[in-house]
Structure 1
Amino acid sequence: MKQFNLKALLVATTLTAILASCSKDKTPTPEIPAAERAGIYVLNEGGFRSNNSTLTYYDFASKAIIPNIFSVTNAGAELGDTGNDVQVYGSKMYIVVNYSSTIEVVNPKTAKSIKQIELRDAGVGRQPRIIVFNKNKAFISTYDGKVAVLDTASLAVEKFINVGRNPEQMVIANGKLYVANSGGLDSFTAIGPDKTVSVIDLATLTETKKIEVGLNPINIAADAYGDVYVISYGTDYPAKPVLTIINNSTDVVKSSASIDAGYAADFVVNGDLAYYITDAGKVKVYDVKTDVVSKENFISDGTALVLPYALAIDSTTGELFVTDAVSYGSNGALYAFDKTGKKEYSFTVGINPGSIAFVNK
């Protein structure tokens, strides 16, 4: 289980999950020219309230590793406390630093700071979690029950949208933003966790409804077949989480079933397949077209991971990148596997490597 208040929640809670099966009609998607990758960033959370988040960069051509590139590039400045998400969008990279309540906007080719955005309400940190993008807007979930709307040109926050309690991951599908409302900070109180997904109309930037799912939803993803996937963790981890599938045309729940995902394990969709980490240290492959597990472990060469923590798929090569937290208190590692599941290389990263981003040439 992940360290208190790191990538998943500021609370250890848990799960009961879902797998279902039905045929789907794929929505055609336009062909996009393959990008040429320059390298990969790993955002290391550090320890909660330890103020030691770091950003590791690995250059694909030179094989050079820069362990704390943000500090190196920015005259010794540090990221802050609990880096939670990193994403490249357009000509900028956005680093969400949860407990420091900041968004660091940097040049993705150099990690040079462009602007630091503070997210506070009357001096109290909003605790941002996840960032996603649509056109010229960035959407940031914040633990005070809001989604911040940021203009990606001016880098100004334009508004806050009310959602549920302690929102976590978000995904955009069918002109809507789906927000997993965890309520994780209330998991061990009389109130209990939230159990909803907020639906935000991207045209009006308003919440239109809430969809009931399992208790403590954290992870959310979408496929090209019109489905949104939500993993909820309940309050009795390591009992199995629940995977809820929502039709994004009707916003009606299609199915709910248990899934053996590890705590706050990302559900990463790439084409017809999704990937997620289990408590047993495996990376399972799930077919989103048929809604069944198609492979018990993507890793095919026997490579063993201690505490697999985050994963990402490079859609241009089919490579899978998995971080290993090792002990939650020491430096972790990143492993690269080819599209057949064989290890290509690995290298040391920082403490609790929780998010991965690719940068193009």
Structure 2
Amino acid sequence: MIVRHIVWPVFAVFITVLAASCVQAPDAPTGSAGIVRPGGVYVLCEGLWRQDNSELSYLQPEFVDVVRDVVSTVNPGLRLGDTASDVVVRGDTMYVCVSTSHTIESYRRSTGEWLGRMTMPAGREPYRMVLADDSTAYCTNLNDDSITEFDPRTLTIRIERAAVGPAPEGIAVTRNAIFVANSGLGDLRAGEDGAGTVAVLDRSDLATVNSVRGLVNVAALKYDALRNRMWASYRNLPSRKDSLGGIVLIDPDRATIIGHWRYTAPRGMAIDDRTGLLYVLHADGIDEIDVTASTTRRIIGHVSRDGNDVWFALAFDPSRSLLWVGNARTYVLDGEALAISLDGGIVHRLTVGLNPTAFVF
């Protein structure tokens, strides 16, 4: 069912925000000159659930100095919120999902200045997000089995709720369709109808028109628009200790799987838009998949031992041809951002906030 939402007046949203737990309005921004220097890398740090300690760290361009918490440094009196789970960028604006705070926040990319906030209705927790164009964005609501459509220019909701499947995580868009990864939260909801599927929705009315099945505990989606390739990662179930997860290549026009690579616990994917190469973070390291040549290559090996040095997230930096890894370490200690060359060498290591989960270049 789709619930259409009337655009909230700005003052009503502001009052709601002030009343919300763990969500603040900032004082006037400080002068940001020198705080965020051009050419660096933002690192979104999830923090710990219900600890209200998410942070947006910034690696200065020389990769020596780090601004640990851009949000509070540039915007006095403001914290990012509780459990920041995703960030996307268009132009000079960054949009951040803060799931436990039930908000989507926007910041100026060049300065870190806070621009605005959208509070999700009915306690929905925005988890992953995608921008379809300048005026349309979608987010998955992990706790509500739904997605929401909103206008990123005004941070106003257009369609409050469109039902999908159990525990939607990743989301991606093509010209006419929305793809949503319904994980089922591993073993917790694996037996429910729609768990382990990628739902395909028509963008015109958000009706489900197709699905890709057999992707147990599916997590992430990445769309290569230049080559019309949809990538999905699935983790399999924790209870199936001897079963692998993997990466699949989906033909988005037919919603069919056309390629399959097995990995243990894939945790992240990143596309080099210039070449179409896919990089995969998994339990044994990072691999490169070349569909055109039908080859795979191990970039770097890494295995977490006893819950230490847990590589948590992956991104590709096209301007430097580097892979960036979010190292959660033990999940409760400060995280680390690792820059890795395509020949497998670690070229930078910088301490950031807890549980680094995404990067902005």
TM-score (norm. length: structure 1): 0.79
Q: What pairs with 1:1-361 in structure 2 (closer than 5 Å)?
A: 38-61=39-62, 63-121=64-122, 125-135=123-133, 136-143=135-142, 144-159=144-159, 160-184=161-185, 187=188, 191=192, 194-223=195-224, 224-236=226-238, 238=241, 239-256=243-260, 258-262=262-266, 265-270=267-272, 271-280=275-284, 282-293=285-296, 295-298=297-300, 306-358=309-361
**How big is the shift at 1:171?**
1.7
Please say which of residues 57-66 and 323-332 is displaced more in the overlay: 57-66
Partner AA of 2:354 in structure 1: I
Distance 1:71 1:62 in 2: 21
Distance 1:217 1:343 in 2: 29
**How big is the shift at 1:185?**
7.1
SS at match of 1:85: strand
**How big is the shift at 1:110?**
1.8
Distance 1:158 1:240 in 2: 39
Q: Deviations over 1:153-182 (max 9, x none)?
A: 221010032211211111223532211011
* Cα contact 2:187–2:237 (8 A) shared by 1: no
SS at match of 1:38: coil
Partner AA of 2:258 in structure 1: K
**How big is the shift at 1:183?**
1.8
Partner AA of 2:156 in structure 1: A
Q: Quickly say closer, same or farther: Cα 1:62–1:351, change in 2 above 3 A.
A: closer
**How big is the shift at 1:314?**
1.2
Q: Quickly say closer, same or farther: Cα 1:62–1:82, change in 2 above 3 A.
A: closer
Please say which of residues 214-223 and 44-53 is displaced more in the overlay: 214-223
Q: Percentage identity across aligned positions?
A: 25
5+ long unaligned stretches in structure 1: 1-35
Partner AA of 2:117 in structure 1: Q
Structure 1 segments (4+ residues) deviating >6 Å: none
Distance 2:206 2:189 in 1: 32
Distance 2:128 2:81 in 1: 16
* Cα contact 2:165–2:195 (8 A) shared by 1: yes
Give 2:21's aligned residue: none
Distance 1:174 1:260 in 2: 32
5+ long unaligned stretches in structure 2: 1-36
Q: Quickly say closer, same or farther: Cα 1:158–1:115, change in 2 above 3 A.
A: same
Higher relative contact order (CA 8 A, sep 6+): 1
SS at match of 1:244: strand
Partner AA of 1:328 in structure 2: Y
Distance 1:78 1:185 in 2: 31
Partner AA of 2:140 in structure 1: S
Distance 1:102 1:147 in 2: 14
Distance 2:189 2:153 in 1: 41
Please say which of residues 51-60 and 191-200 is displaced more in the overlay: 191-200
Give 1:33's aligned residue: none
Please say which of residues 161-170 and 205-214 is displaced more in the overlay: 205-214
Q: What is the number of equivalent residue pairs in this alignment? A: 314
What value does the CA root-mean-square deviation take over the aligned residues? 2.7
Q: Deviations over 1:114-169 (max 9, x none)?
A: 11211121xxx211111111112111111212211111222101003221121111
* Cα contact 1:43–1:83 (8 A) shared by 2: yes
SS at match of 1:350: coil
Please say which of residues 229-238 and 74-83 is displaced more in the overlay: 229-238
Partner AA of 2:289 in structure 1: Y
* Cα contact 1:184–1:193 (8 A) shared by 2: no
Please say which of residues 341-350 and 95-104 is displaced more in the overlay: 341-350
TM-score (norm. length: structure 2): 0.79
Distance 2:208 2:197 in 1: 12
* Cα contact 1:261–1:276 (8 A) shared by 2: no
Distance 2:320 2:190 in 1: 46
